[in-house]
Structure formats: structure tokens, C-alpha cells
Chains A and B, each alone.
Chain A
């Protein structure tokens, strides 16, 4: 009996030892795939000048609308083909990563910070402060974001800063609402009462007891926000209030391809695929984080 047990133990150990890293990766594919995609895109954005085979804004009318190199009529020089002005799509996607990713990460950083601070204060303090903050978020949520972006573009001129500002001004409200809700739940938690009994100041309670317990949902919506913001930026570019041409952003590339969709589908398709990959990666990563960050589920 004991010998059998011993043997089974050894066998299990043997199998798990040999395959452990592989099974680990397979079991956590919904973490490794998105994190790989995002890392690759990050590196691409950083090393764009070294990676891009062509100048992304170099117009060459002789090479307009070349199909990707793996299709009939494609030239090996342009792996993903060229657009209506003869610019290399691959290079534009690589450079586009810089603008698209930096806009979304910057906006997430700004909105999450503001939203979290205001949300925790509103939720914990309550009273008039909360009422005012929550009414402001109502206004933010009901204000059409494109209209605001247009207004800003008119008053500030289109550009990187305008896009970041337009997306941030309204974006914090979502974070604020979520964090306030979580804070309301926590404010009456027993351990917060206990902290008050021990003499904790409100600041300490918010920092040590409330903030660590709202980090989970916060991280989840932050990762999901990556995809959303890239789409939003694409929308702004579509209306011409995004980062102005000729600098490439993924959203703008999709839009430029729209006019040529029947003749040159690759113009929209490839940047569209990249956007899709980022959005999905963000969402999968968010799901994964939500499961992993709960200390009760954490494997120690």
C-alpha cells in the first residue's frame, strides 16, 4: 500500500517536473499570448526607427497601392503593401504604434489617477463633496465625447495634446464611479471600523485600507481601457481631430483605407488587425488579472 503510494508520488513528480514549464504556459495562455503581443508592440514602438524598412511619411507615387508581397503583383520591398500615396504600410504600422500606444497609456495614467483619488475621497468622505463629484461625473458621462474633442480641436488645434486632453477630460468619470462604489462598500467594512478604533486618521485609512482593496477592479478596467482608447483615438482621427497627417496612427490608417477598400483592402486590414490584437490583448489581460489578483485565489 505504502509502496504503491510512494510510486504514484514519484511518477506524478516525474511528469510534472518534465512538463512543468510547458503545462504552466499552456494553462496560462490567456496571460502569455496577450502579454507577448503587447510587449512586442511596445518594443516595436520604442525601436521603430531601427525596425521600419521605410520612411513612414515618404510619398512615392510610383509605388501606390502595391499589394502585400505574398500576393500576386506584390513587391518584396513592401511586405504589407503600400497605401494610396505609396507609403509602406508596415513602416506606418510600426511608427503608428508610437502614437497610438503612447496616447492610450498616457490617457489611462491620467484618468486612472484622477478617478481613483476623487473616487476614494467621494466614497469615504461622503457629504457635499461626494454629491458635487458625482454630479460632475454624471455630466461627463452624458457629454458627447466627440463634440468635446471637436471643441478642443477648434480651440487648441488638432494634435497629440488635444487628443490626450479630450480623452482624459471625460475618461476619469468612469474610474471615479467605479472606485467610489468600491469605496462605499469598504467604508462600512469591519476592518475599517477597527482601524478607526485603533486611532487611524482618515488619510491613513484611505491609503492603507481602502486603496489596496480597490486595486483589483482598477487594474482590470485599466487594462481593458487600452483597447477602448485606441478605438477612441481612431474615431478622433476619423473626424480629423486626431493627430494630424502625415504622422501615422492606426485609427487614421484604417480610415484612409476606407476610400480604397475595393481596390486595396490591405490598407485598412492590417492596421485593423493590429488594433484588434491590442484590444483583445487588453481584455484578456484584464480578465486574467482579475482572477489572479484576488489574494484568496493566489497560489503561494
Chain B
């Protein structure tokens, strides 16, 4: 195993659902339910899934924006929930930064670019004014912004430029891990590649780890070293990026990949269209949580919760993995 930077173990976040005058708890929204993964130093892990799959909750937990119901997060082999407040403030927070999805709302509209990028330095570092000034200009240059723009307000920039500002800000503290929450989904398609290339260059230069949250598989494939597919608060498949796209095991992964991979007008559309909505996380389906929408589901799926099947570094949570021929054969044999 290589150098593990961050590890999560069985993250669980349940939001109580309250009702009535007495605010009685009548149930829980199981936003995430047992999420475990590791992020290696200098590598990128992507969390993929539909809205409501729990990607953002997972990220919020790592960024300490949410208190977990249970589970633990290890950063450089230390349980961050056992760190003191001072240790968190000085040793964890500055090391884990984030770039948010929407560059139009992630900056205070009343601050100048100079102050936006300097803010993490002002809050955390012991630099003097002159050093902060120079650092800000160096960061701007690094992300491809003209230093003379430093006194502008965010609304004077385009989406791509704003995302560059956000990247510069997240780099200010020399973090080890940057959580990228849909870093390019709010941008024009023509700008996406630029930002993704910028992120990759920065990763190589500083040996940074990324946790990418995305639903766009093209982004994921380009950015990540490994991928975790989430469905209804759980990871259903986890593998190296190459392996996952070559050999997807879980029917949900296959549906996602097939829905995004039509490469030309002549190609026949064979995408697997999932019907229906994601079930309510208050009352998840019995057995395999995906069985209500799975095209290959059979009787066992609604009864028994599938255990993760491990194939080297690739693992999937699906009963079909037990069949050597794989899931297609099984579903065909069912329809015969």
C-alpha cells in the first residue's frame, strides 16, 4: 500500500425527521450510511452518484461542516475526532481545503480578489502584510490570473476566472487535500478542460490529493485515480478509474456509464435508462437498496443485503457478482 493521507471508516450521518408540536423524532434521513474509503497522497478519489446519494454530506463531514452520527476519519493516521480544538485549527483545517461548485456564490461579493485569496492566510498564517501580498500575487500567477486584477471584485470575472480564484484561495495554505465539489459543473463546457488541466498541473506540482465530487463521468475519468460510486448513502462500487470504466460490475455503475458514453450520431443508443426516482433515504428499500430500479434485479435482491465482493482492488456490492458470467447473462437468463 502506498501512502494513505485520509481514511474514512463507516461514516454515518442520520438527520432526524421531526414532526408535530412536540418535535418528536419520527425517523431519520440516512444521508450516508457506512461510507469507507481511503485517499492516497498525491492521488484523486472521485465520489460519483445522483443528487441525494450522500456525496456532499461525505464531503461536509471531511470539511467539518457537519457533525457525523458515527464513524471516524483518519488524517495522517490520526483520528480527527480525537484531536483537540487547537490541533484541529492548526493541523487539520489548514491541510484540508475546498473548491466549491458554484463560483458565483462561493465568494463574498464585497471583497476584492486580493482579500478573497488572502483570507485563509490572514486567518491562519503568521505572515506579515508584505508576505501575504506577495503570496497572493504568486498564487494568482500560478492559476493564470493577471496580478493587476487583484483589486477587482468577483462579479467582474467570468465563471472560469472565478473558479481560478477559488483554486488560488484553496491553495493558499499549502493544503494536502482539496475537496473539489463539482469543480467544473457550473462552467461552460469550453472552460472545463482548462480548469481540469489546471487542477491536474497543480496536483502534480504539489503532490496534492483530491477528493472530487461529481456526477459527470467524463470529468471523473479525466481527473481521478480511483472512483467510488455512491447510491443512497452507500458506496456500491469502488475501483481504480481505469478498471472501473473498463469493467464495471454493479448494474448502477453500468447504467451511469452507458448513459454518458454515446460518442457519435451513428452509434446506436444502447444506454440503460434507469426508471423512477431515487427512493427516500428516510425509508430505504429492503435488501439491496438499488433493487427498485435495477434492470437485473431478481428475487434475492429485495430480501438480502449484498455483502461487498472484493476482486483485488475492485469491489462491488451486488449479488450478481457471485455469478461468474456476470450480471448480463443472469438478467438475460431471467427474461428467458
Binding site for B on A (CB under 8 A): 189-191, 193-200, 204, 208-209, 212-213, 295-296, 300
Contact = CB atoms under 8 A, between A and B. Distances in A.
B124 A199 contact: yes
B110 A213 contact: yes
Contact of B100 (A193, A199, A209): A193
Interface string B49-70: 0000000000000011100000
A198 B124 contact: yes
B232 to A, nearest CB: 24
B118 to A, nearest CB: 11
Give the most central of B65, B93, B108, B109: most A CB within 10 Å: B108
B105 A191 contact: yes
A124 to B, nearest CB: 15
B94 A199 contact: yes
Interface string B88-102: 010001101110101
B35 interface: no
B100 A198 contact: no
28 contacts: A191-B107, A193-B65, A194-B98, A194-B169, A195-B119, A196-B65, A197-B65, A197-B93, A197-B96, A198-B119, A198-B120, A198-B123, A199-B93, A199-B120, A199-B123, A200-B123, A204-B123, A208-B111, A212-B108, A212-B110, A212-B111, A213-B108, A213-B110, A295-B109, A295-B110, A295-B155, A296-B155, A300-B156
A126 B115 CA distance: 28
A67 to B, nearest CB: 54
B153 interface: yes
Interface in B232-290: none
Contacts of B96: 197
B106 interface: yes
B106 A296 contact: no
A59 to B, nearest CB: 55
Closest 3 CB pairs of A and B: A198-B120, A190-B106, A190-B105
B89 A213 contact: no
Contacts of A197: 63-65, 93, 96-98
Given A213-B110, A296-B109, 6 more contacts: A190-B100, A191-B107, A194-B106, A198-B97, A198-B124, A199-B89
A163 to B, nearest CB: 36
B223 to A, nearest CB: 20
Give the most central of B93, B111, B119: most A CB within 10 Å: B119
A286 to B, nearest CB: 20
Nearest to A297: B155
Contacts, number: 60
B133 to A, nearest CB: 18
Interface residues of B, number: 27
Contact of B106 (A191, A196, A199, A213): A191
A296 B157 CA distance: 11
Contacts of B63: 197
Contacts of A200: 119, 123
Contacts of B111: 208, 212
A189 B89 contact: no
A292 to B, nearest CB: 14
Nearest to A196: B65
A199 B110 CA distance: 19
A189 B110 CA distance: 14
A204 B115 CA distance: 14
A194 B108 CA distance: 10
Given A196-B65, A197-B93, A199-B93, A190 B119 contact: no
A127 to B, nearest CB: 14
Contacts of A190: 100, 102, 105-106
Contacts of A208: 108, 111
A81 B110 CA distance: 52
A204 B108 CA distance: 13
B273 to A, nearest CB: 33
Interface string B149-182: 0000101100000000000010001000000000
A185 to B, nearest CB: 11
A233 B173 CA distance: 55
A196 B124 CA distance: 12
Interface in B29-77: 63-65
A198 B166 CA distance: 12
